[in-house]
Amino acid sequence: MHMLEQLEQTYHRAQAELDGIRDKDTLADWERRYLGKKGDITVALRSTGQMPKEERAAFGKRANEIKNALTDAFTARETDIQAHELARTLEEGELDVTLPGRPVSMGGLHPTTQTLREISAIWAEMGFQVYRSPDVEDDETNFNLLNIPPHHPARDMWDTFHTTTPGVLLRTHTSPGQIRAMHELGHDGTEPIRVILPGMCYRYEQISARSEVQFNQVEGLAVGRNIRLSDLKGTIAEFARHMFGEDKRVRFRGSYFPFTEPSMEVDVECILCEGHGCPVCKYTGWLEIAGCGMVHPVVLQNGGYDPTEWSGFAFGMGPERMTMIKHGIKDIRYFWQDDLRFLEQF
């Protein structure tokens, strides 16, 4: 048969078949048979080169026309089939738009973050602003300026992470922030200040159920012209009642910190046994919640204040410990384990 005639026949067959196709799979098969790499039209086009010269131009031209026509027809059919399939799916109700959505799993605030926010809110109500101080501190501010000189035995209270830069360390407590706050917010000893300093602290310690190498503290500092021990006691007691309950008793025990004089530790009546004695309070009826005291004159001076005119109180509390007390958590290590079974309870 004449090549051109054969081509026309293939064209008509392809067109007729295409008109009858109603589904994707048959359409794909059709495309492979006619327009694919080894498809009839492609093969015919490729054979143009071997044809007698006088037929070549006419055949090539026609074959290209047919290829384009079939490609267009294919695309039109494809669009048509897709539209039909979508319409059918909708009609058959396979897509039920009334079904409730899948729940999105939501993150939550870490229990310590919740406690930190609670603590900040209570102090904010009493006029304390938040001041941020760096985690990476110098030896001078973390110790010396807080009245803890290099060979002072009190340095044993804080096992330190040193960096490879001499004199630079990870703060062992938030107290160095006191010095920075006094200079910055107190304008070198000319303005009164009331701040809390929340943040992470680091200690090179054996990790156990009761101590971690990193933990938060909330430091507090008030400096003014007439601040007395009774202000400290009243303010801390007010905080404890907000935090643990209006009816809770608070007591102060004498203690020692190099940066305060006098120094005290604060206990609140055990919130679980209400003072009767239980394992959480180790049968004492009391829970320790903070260290505090009147700012040592040397520290006031290092912050730029004249200690003969200014005085102040300071405190430091542990939000992880408070969270443990509040929720009866027995092991501080849970806080850093990222275990959802623990975290999802809060």
Name the residues that contact ligand DAH, by CB under 6 A. 173, 175, 219, 257, 260, 291-293, 314-316
Can you read off the two tokens belonging to residue 250? 């608070």
CA distances from 339 to 101, 161, 272, 319, 331 (A): 27, 26, 25, 19, 13
Can you read off the two tokens belonging to residue 187? 């304008």
Can you read off the two tokens belonging to residue 51? 């044809």
> In the complex with ligand DAH, which residue's Cβ is closer, 90 or 130?
130
> In the complex with ligand DAH, which residue's Cβ is closer, 44 or 232?
232
Contact 150, 143 (CB under 8 A): yes
> In the complex with ligand DAH, which residue's Cβ is closer, 216 or 323?
216
Least gap, CB of 222 to ligand DAH (angstroms): 11
> In the complex with ligand DAH, which residue's Cβ is closer, 199 or 291?
291
Least gap, CB of 294 to ligand DAH (angstroms): 8
Least gap, CB of 260 to ligand DAH (angstroms): 4
> In the complex with ligand DAH, which residue's Cβ is closer, 111 or 316?
316
> In the complex with ligand DAH, which residue's Cβ is closer, 123 or 257?
257
> In the complex with ligand DAH, which residue's Cβ is closer, 34 or 315?
315
Kindly compute the dihedral angle of the four CA atoms of residues 215, 218, 223, 229, in this order, to the nearest 10 degrees: -100
Q: Which helix (DSSP H) or strand (DSSP E) does residue 151 occupy?
A: none
Alpha helix stretches (DSSP H) within the chain:
3-20, 24-34, 40-46, 53-92, 111-125, 139-142, 176-184, 229-244, 297-302, 319-327, 340-343
Q: Using alpha carbons, select from 120, 123, 113, 127 the residue that is nearest to residue 239.
A: 123
Report the C-alpha gap between 143 and 154 in whole angstroms: 10
Report the C-alpha gap between 2 and 13 in whole angstroms: 17
Least gap, CB of 233 to ligand DAH (angstroms): 13
Q: Which residue minimizes CB distance to ligand DAH?
A: 316
Least gap, CB of 106 to ligand DAH (angstroms): 35
Q: Using alpha carbons, select from 79, 106, 101 the residue that is nearest to residue 21.
A: 79
Least gap, CB of 103 to ligand DAH (angstroms): 43
Least gap, CB of 298 to ligand DAH (angstroms): 14
Least gap, CB of 261 to ligand DAH (angstroms): 10
Sheet with 214-224, edge to edge strand ranges: 129-130, 193-202, 214-224, 311-317, 286-295, 260-269, 250-255
> In the complex with ligand DAH, which residue's Cβ is closer, 31 or 212?
212
